[in-house]
């Protein structure tokens, strides 16, 4: 069934090509389509397009459909084009002509926009909660290993002493910035496009402010043309924020792959978290981190994929936008899986103690020795030259005793301050307001 069908049937090949995999992806939008319809019918009743009796019938039927979706087993009937058609067909089957009234004052264009906004809002919340859990783990591991030294590198050459605590804490703070960008995406997502219809509004006296409140949106997409233009742009902004999280995980995974390498040998994991070789019995491969790296690199390409699919579209709706779901929807589950697997691995990491006692790392302490001379009164450039000559003449001596006290250094990780930054970012996600609105809508 097609909402737009008149008296002619599309060629089967055309229908298959235009629908593609969209009906399967639409199942993910099912609960949100019902929520959007619940808000819409409440609004229609306030402007006289539904009677009180019709409203009660539609609300109860929609809530029943929502429960069916939540219980599982809900699917699109054969021949049904999309979730919007399915819900309207079910209402019509159960309520007769009353069910046909649900589409007054809206288009599939603003209907799918609402569904997408609600879906992305829900997925962002899952990402935030998972990212916060990984952040907490990184912070606790950072404190646990703050006194265990680790070689620091620049250009992949030995540079200066670091610590496992400093390394893990760096990725914790990276996630703070990643959630700042995700919070910006949340603000763009959390706007109501309902009532923009096909992209040019409606002659009905609808109340878009009311549906904004009912659906827990923070704001309204005021201009109806821009509401439609936001499709594609919103997905790209969300994908960019996801790419930032993915970049942090990918870099951490690359570090882990290097540090597990026998030539480094800085960290290890239990056998059950690594894989072996079909012919080399000694192998313990970092397959989990390698796959996290690859998944996350693919997610980093997602914003550009969306940009290339939408870059030359004029204003108004275009069928090109349908394909964005095929790229964006799987990325949410993939990124969440990567976050969770990173947490599993780091929860079981084993670090090598006393790494820097090995003489191969002696030159990591060259800057420390320069600084000691400076503290004794020698000008920095003279101290630098002296230590350089000592190294060249094999006269270099050092002590592994370190005293780093400034903010954010090995001896002063600023774990609490970083946690405070994270809490400030989290406070800007108004999840409670959204939950309250949706609960009221379903009551």
Ordered structural domains, the chain, with CATH: 12-103 (1.10.275.10), 122-144+152-202+222-353 (1.20.200.10), 359-392 (no CATH)
| Separation of alpha carbons 316 and 109, rounded Å | 10
pLDDT by residue (tens digit) across 315-349?
988 888 888 999 999 999 999 999 999 999 999 99
Tokens (6 digits) for 349? 């990491």
Structure confidence at residue 433 (pLDDT): 95
- Could you give the C-alpha distances from 389 to 86, 392, 420, in angstroms and in order? 79, 5, 45
Higher model confidence: residue 247 or residue 22?
247
The answer to whether residues 267 and 167 touch, using CB atoms and an 8 Å cutoff, is no
| pTM score of the predicted model | 0.92
Structure confidence at residue 21 (pLDDT): 65
Which of 33, 23, 13 lies closest to 90, judged by CA?
Answer: 33
Three-class SS of residue 318?
A: coil
In 311-430, which residue ranges form alpha helices assigned H by DSSP? 324-347, 366-375, 380-392, 415-426
pLDDT by residue (tens digit) across 275-288?
765 566 666 788 99
Quick check: 12 pLDDT over 80? no
The mean pLDDT value for 123-135 works out to 98
Structure confidence at residue 401 (pLDDT): 85
The mean pLDDT value for 145-155 works out to 95
Tokens (6 digits) for 385? 């030259």
Provide the 8-state DSSP code for 323: G
Active site (catalytic) residues: 155, 277
């Amino acid at each position: 069934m097609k909402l737009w069908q008149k008296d002619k049937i599309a060629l089967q090949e055309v229908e298959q090509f235009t629908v593609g995999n969209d009906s399967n992806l639409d199942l993910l939008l099912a609960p949100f389509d019902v929520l959007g319809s619940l808000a819409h019918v409440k609004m229609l009743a306030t402007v006289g397009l539904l009677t009180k009796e019709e409203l009660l019938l539609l609300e109860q039927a929609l809530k029943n459909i929502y429960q069916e979706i939540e219980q599982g087993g809900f699917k699109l009937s054969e021949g049904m084009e999309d979730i919007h058609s399915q819900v309207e067909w079910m209402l019509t089957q159960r309520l007769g002509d009353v069910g046909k009234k649900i589409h007054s004052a809206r288009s599939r264009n603003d209907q799918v926009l609402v569904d997408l906004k609600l879906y992305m809002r829900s997925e962002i919340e899952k990402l935030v909660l998972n990212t916060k859990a990984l952040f907490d783990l990184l912070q606790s591991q950072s404190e646990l290993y703050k006194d265990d030294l680790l070689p620091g590198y620049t250009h992949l050459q030995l540079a200066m002493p670091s610590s496992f605590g400093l390394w893990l804490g760096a990725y914790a703070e990276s996630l703070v910035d990643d959630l700042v960008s995700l919070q910006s995406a949340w603000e763009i997502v959390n706007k109501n496009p309902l009532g923009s219809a096909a992209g040019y509004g409606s002659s009905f006296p609808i109340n878009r402010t009311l549906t904004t409140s009912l659906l827990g949106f923070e704001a309204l997409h005021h201009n109806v043309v821009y509401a439609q233009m936001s499709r594609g742009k919103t997905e790209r902004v969300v994908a960019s924020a996801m790419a930032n999280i993915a970049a942090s995980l990918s870099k951490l995974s690359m570090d882990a792959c290097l540090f597990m390498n026998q030539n480094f040998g800085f960290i290890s994991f239990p056998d059950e978290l690594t894989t072996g070789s079909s012919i080399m019995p000694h192998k313990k491969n970092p397959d989990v981190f390698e796959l996290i790296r690859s998944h996350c690199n693919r997610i980093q390409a997602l914003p550009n994929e969306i940009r290339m699919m939408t870059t030359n579209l004029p204003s108004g709706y275009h069928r090109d936008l349908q394909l964005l779901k095929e790229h964006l929807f799987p990325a949410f589950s993939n990124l969440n899986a990567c976050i969770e697997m990173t947490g599993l691995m780091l929860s079981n990491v084993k670090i090598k103690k006393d790494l820097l006692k090995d003489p191969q790392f002696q030159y990591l302490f060259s800057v420390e020795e320069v600084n000691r001379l400076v503290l004794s009164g020698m000008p920095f450039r003279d101290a630098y030259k002296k230590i350089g000559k000592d190294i060249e003449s094999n006269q270099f001596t050092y002590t592994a005793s370190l005293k780093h006290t400034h903010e954010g250094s090995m001896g002063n990780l600023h774990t609490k301050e970083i946690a405070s930054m994270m809490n400030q970012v989290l406070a800007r996600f108004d999840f409670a307001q959204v939950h309250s609105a949706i609960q009221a809508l379903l009551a």
